[in-house]
Amino acid sequence: MGYVLNQRAGQPPHLFAYDPKTGSWTREADFPGSSRTQGLAFTAKNKAFYGLGTASDKGLRDLWQYDPATDQWQYVTDYPGQGNIALVSVGYANRAYLGLGYETQPTGQGTFRYVGCTDFWEFVP
């Protein structure tokens, strides 16, 4: 299966699964977190993870888990690293590695300042 999280500004994010055997799409459980831009996704331990990014005037650090066996989302943790956009992520078997990227800092004028990050973390679900 392949998964796509479809987001449109001001609307809740929807998750869709694509089955290459049948060539069909199925709508799965909606993502319960805040709508965001520049979020991060990766897989580990047969589950999908999504979070981080920006919303309105702030950087987000929340990380959510999707379990395809139960079609349910649950909040996992806040990301402890510096960045919240453009992170590198690699899922491998029962863990994932993520880091680098940029931290968004609001300027107070409706824009963000982007600060490069150099930390890297191991995530074990």
How many domains, in total, are found in the chain? 1
Q: What is the pLDDT of residue 111?
A: 81
Q: Give the pLDDT band of residue 73 (cuts 50, 70, 90).
A: very high
Q: What is the pLDDT of residue 56?
A: 75
DSSP single-letter state for residue 37: B
The CATH number of the domain where 16 resides is what?
Answer: 2.120.10.80
- Looking at every residue in the chain, the average pLDDT score rounds to 90
CB 51 within 8 A of CB 61: yes
Q: Is the pLDDT of residue 63 over 80?
A: yes
Q: Is the pLDDT of residue 5 over 90?
A: no
The C-alpha atoms of residue 13 and residue 20 are separated, in whole angstroms, by: 22
Over residues 97-106, mean pLDDT: 91
Q: Residue 123 CA to chain centroid, in angstroms?
A: 13
Q: What percent of the chain lies above the pLDDT cut of 70?
A: 98
Q: What is the pLDDT of residue 34?
A: 87
* Token code pair at residue 104: 């968004």
Q: What is the pLDDT of residue 102?
A: 92
Domain limits for position 18: 2-123
pLDDT, tens digit, 9 for 90 and up, residues 7-57: 776 777 889 999 999 999 999 999 999 888 888 999 899 899 999 998 877
CB 78 within 8 A of CB 34: no
